[in-house]
Amino acid sequence: IKAEERQDNGETGKKGLLDGVPQAMPALLQADEIVERVGRVRFDQLTKMGDMAAIRETLKELEKANPETLAIRMGELLLGIASFAHAHEVGVEDALREALNRFRARFDRMESDALAEGKALVDLSDDEKAARWAAAGQTDNEDA
């Protein structure tokens, strides 16, 4: 039926495996979908990128990257992490969103505590910020 619909719409030829993955989709979701689809045909390059040893190697390459290759290495690392997450049935978009929510809550606690004492974060030393960050994290540990 889908093939007939495509033919009726003037589309010819068979679509590629990745053609149905919208490029406008958020990149992490796109990575997860692509890992899923290439896995269906047992193409394991992305699976290999998601191997912990490969992720460690990519991290080493990232540390040595020059400004011209930094974005390339970062993209490879993110794709490897997305592949690792997929293999462990972790939704990368949800995992990142949850991590951001935890960061925001902790940062907000740190900032609120400073403001309650009449201090702005920008005026604190790095050591004071680190101590406040650690104190704000204690609430996370108590809640868990």
User: Per residue in 43-86, pLDDT tens?
Assistant: 989 899 999 999 999 999 999 999 999 999 999 999 999 999 99
Structure tokens at 123: 């005026």
Phi, psi values for residue 142, rounded to 5°: -70, -35
Tell me the three state secondary structure of residue 121.
helix
Q: For residue 103, is pLDDT > 80?
A: yes
Between 92 and 7, residue with greater pLDDT: 92
* Residues 82 and 50: beta-carbon distance below 8 Å: yes
Q: Give residue 140's pLDDT.
A: 63
> What is the C-alpha separation between 138 and 133, in angstroms, rounded?
9
Please name the residues in contact with 66: beta carbons below 8 A apart, sequence gap of 6 or more.
Answer: none
* Residues 109 and 132: beta-carbon distance below 8 Å: no
Share of the chain above pLDDT 90, in %: 78
Any idea how long the chain is? 144
> What is the C-alpha separation between 137 and 107, in angstroms, rounded?
9
Helix boundaries (H) for 65-91: 70-87
Structure tokens at 49: 């990128």
* Residues 84 and 52: beta-carbon distance below 8 Å: yes
Q: What is the DSSP letter of 123?
A: G
